[in-house]
Amino acid sequence: MIYLDNAATTKPDKECLKAAEKYLYEDYFNPSSLYKDGYKLQAEIKAAKTNILSFIANTDNYDLTFTSGGTEADNQAIFCGGKRGNIVVSSGEHSAVFASANETKQRGLEVRFAKIKSDGSVDVENLLSLIDDKTSLVSVIHVNNETGAINDIFDIAKKVKLKNKYTLFHSDGVQAFGKIPFKLTNDIDLYSISAHKIGGVKGCGALIRKKRAIIKPYIYGGGQEQGLRSGTENLFAIKDFEFAAVKKYSTIKNNYQLVLNLQEKLWEKLDKQLFTRISALTCSPYILSVSAEGVRGETILHEADDLGLLIGTGSACSSNEKKRFSRTIIACGYPESVADGVLRLSLSPEITLDEILKAAEILNKIVSNRRAIMA
């Protein structure tokens, strides 16, 4: 099996799972317990927060709230950060942000959607034109989950603050954390991350928050996570997340170059008579979006599956919406004929060159055969 759908989820790292196993079988106590075996686990949670934060943020200025994943972190940012007036989000947001923004509209908040460019990056001038003195929140995805476009969120956030210093700036960093090197600047108020995109287990993520940024809880109950996210902490998943982050960041620059080389080879071997490139050359090396115009992406996906190649046609989180065309690809300005044939090929450092060459061979063969049938 060749797995090229790492933007949907990654294979859990066995070493990290083994290291975290003790929090299932030995230190399984409730961290909110008052007896010493439970209470001492609060220190383990604090250590996990510090370690994860330290890779991308100044721990003196930022804090971290563990959630059930990137989707919950995005929801908390939108519903609890966008409190009044209007909010501005890009049209290329992950569905966790886009759907949440639409829901806030139903609840009486004005929502303004900024245009995106052909590669999926936000049109910054258009975004800034939508901000006024009533804008409470702006959300711009760091790495587009369908095209891999990298938004310069640090420059964008700075410009947002110049227009309205009271506006909270949020970014969905799920496809950036552990994959591209960066450090959060003080203009970033909220940042969402997820464990299972970097070799951790599903069901754990976090919302990073600048300490001076005031937001309300999204889930109420026993007051865990400094009152910002109630519910008994999933210590096993939290520690596994920590260990996965430590491992990823120890080789992040080498992994970036390795994956970039693999992406370049994959595009080189894909037949340019059959495929159009959607992703820009400056996109994240972990995502290559292409289109086999005239052939349905879903058809290619299923035929590739039969041949041992697993790929995506866009965001896995949007597959349940039963929409034929990707909202993001259409917003990029592509016609439905192109959107219908989009494939998302997402990589990891564990993929071999032989697998890349084989994947290109399979995709070329499938699309070539389909074109011949349709001729």
**Which residues is 187 bridged to in the sheet?**
none
> Strand 86-90 and strand 276-277: pairing?
unpaired
Q: Phi and psi for 206 in degrees, rounded to 5?
A: -160, 150
The position carrying tokens 């439970």 is 38
**One digit per residue, pLDDT tens: the chain, 375 residues?**
999 999 999 999 999 999 999 999 999 999 988 888 888 999 999 999 999 999 999 999 999 999 999 999 999 999 999 889 999 999 999 999 999 999 999 999 999 999 999 999 999 999 999 999 999 999 999 999 999 999 999 999 999 999 999 999 999 999 999 999 999 999 999 999 999 999 999 999 999 999 988 888 888 898 888 878 889 899 999 999 999 999 999 999 999 999 999 999 999 999 999 999 999 999 999 999 999 999 999 999 999 999 999 999 965 555 555 567 899 999 999 999 999 999 999 999 999 999 999 999 999 999 999 988 876
Predicted confidence at residue 33, as pLDDT, reads 86
Q: Are strands 62-67 and 2-3 parallel, antiparallel or unpaired?
A: unpaired
Residues labelled as active-site residues: 317
pTM above 0.85, yes or no: yes
Q: How many CB atoms lie within 10 A of CB 351?
A: 20
As to burial, measured by CB atoms within 10 angstroms (0-12 exposed, 13-18 middle, 19+ buried), residue 173 is buried
Exposed/middle/buried for 60, CB within 10 Å: 0-12, 13-18, 19+?
exposed
How confident is the model at residue 322, as a pLDDT?
Answer: 57
For the record, the structure tokens of 202 come out as: 């599903």
Q: Give 211: exposed, middle or buried? Use CB within 10 Å, 0-12, 13-18, 19+.
A: exposed
